[in-house]
Amino acid sequence: MASIRRTLSPPYHDRHYQNGETPVPAPFPAQKPFAASAKPSSAPPGLGVHRFLAFVLLGKQPRRSWRRSLYRCLLCFLFGFLFGMTPFGHVNELQAHDFSLDIKPSNVNVNARLENAIDHPVRHDEFLHKSSNLEVGAEARANSDGSSDLVPRKQLIVVTPTYSRAAQAYFLNRLGQVLRLVPPPLLWIVVETNVVSMETADILRKSGVMYRHLVCTKNSTDIKDRGVHQRNTALEHIEHHKLDGIVYFADDDNIYSLELFHSLRQIRRFGTWPIAMLAQSKNKATLEGPVCNGSQVIGWHTNEKSKRLRRFHVDMSGFAINSTILWDPKRWRRLTAHPIRQLDTVKEGFQETTFIEQVVEDESQMEGIPFGCSRIINWHLHLGAHNLIYPKGWLFDKNLEVDLTVT
């Protein structure tokens, strides 16, 4: 007869527990270790893979601290760095010319460009824009060591005194069109007497040139003295605002070439050049200005016997100065800090030389432009009609008399 045996349950201690606690079963007896022939584990029990690596590398089980994280990060960084630097497969060796920073121009079909230029001519303003960009590129390559540092252009400060007369609009528009062709930066300072006229302001707004419209409040009936006070007003403005650039007195009735304004940017302190002048009698032309050996001034051109007493034989539009001379005397080692101004107490024809004597000591501090002073780059013509009155607003109230009747 088969017998059925029930597995014995772990013994419980038959005792009462306070507060209704549940009796806890007794643990099983500890198992006996394996036979002595079994090899113990080489790592402490309960270690993972990363703990095993740390145990092998460090020789002991790491403590639970910040050093553990630091060692792990350093180990991963070193492993990743070595893995990234290891070359896999064949890598082509790069030649030195493969890393050239020079921009190689693409192949250009010259015939196609010429045909396109004929079919689509370039406008004049586009040509000027491209020409100014080419000039900037040439200045950027000015250094002989091949560096591409951009050399900024000097600012030109053109001072123009003006007054109301019959040909004022013609003169201002003509000068404004010339200044518009000059590459920037350029500042046109126009000075009027007593009040700002709406006609002049309208011409300046339409000129397309950066300008400042000033007013000279000092009254003067003489035309020559009026120009002196107007120029002094501009000099005070430049000195007060410490404008940096080349100051040039450009009367509105003179004729200027673009080469003149390009040459002005070569001046360091004081520059001068010869001028072709039409005599007051309108029957002959004279030459006035420096005689140069290269850029060194060695003499003067003059045909006026009454002007031989002057120290420097220069016309008002025949020289230009660095504006820092006006407001930075220490830079130029000036002996006095007295403001540099034009004088209205001297005779006519001596205002230029008395002004220049405040700027330079002798011809050794002058620069002749262009090189050799061999070309005429501006003209002084006495063509103004002083007795004619310009129409209000440049508009006629009524039509002029008819000379020829339309039939």
- Model confidence pLDDT, tens digit, residues 340-372: 999 988 888 889 999 999 999 999 999 999 999
For the chain, how big is the Rg over CA atoms in Å?
46
Centre a 10 Å sphere on the Cβ of residue 316 and count the other Cβ atoms it contains: 19
pLDDT at 289: 93
Say yes or no to pLDDT of 212 above 90. Answer: yes
What confidence score (pLDDT) does residue 14 get? 47
Mean pLDDT throughout 279-290? 81
- What's the pLDDT score for residue 385? 60
Q: Beta strands of 184-336 (E only): which ranges?
A: 186-193, 211-216, 246-249, 255-256, 270-272, 275-278, 285-293, 296-301, 319-322
Confidence of residue 164 (pLDDT cuts 50, 70, 90): confident
The pairing of strands 275-278 and 211-216 is: unpaired
With a cut of 50, say whether residue 200 has pLDDT above it.
Answer: yes
If you ran DSSP here, which 8-state letter would residue 182 be given? Answer: S
404 Cβ partners below 8 Å, 6+ apart? none
135 is catalytic: no
The pLDDT value recorded for residue 283 is 76
Distance (Å, whole) CA 251 – CA 270: 19
Per-residue pLDDT band for 337 (boundaries 50, 70, 90) equals confident
pLDDT at 19: 46
CA gap 179, 344 in Å, rounded? 29
Summarize the confidence of residues 132-144 as an average pLDDT: 47
Among 297, 302, 274, 234, smallest CA distance to 380 is for 274
- Which one of the listed residues 304, 352, 361, 363 is annotated catalytic? 352
DSSP three-state, residue 157: strand
Dist. CA 225–CA 219, nearest whole Å: 9
pLDDT interval class at 140 (50, 70, 90): very low
- Summarised one tens digit per residue, pLDDT across range 61-97 is 545 567 878 888 888 888 888 877 777 655 444 444 4
pLDDT of residue 310: 87
Q: CA-based angle 383:388:393, to the nearest 5?
A: 110
pTM listed for this prediction: 0.62
pLDDT of residue 55: 57
Dihedral sign, Cα of residue 221, residue 226, residue 228, residue 229: positive
Contact 319, 267 (CB under 8 A): no
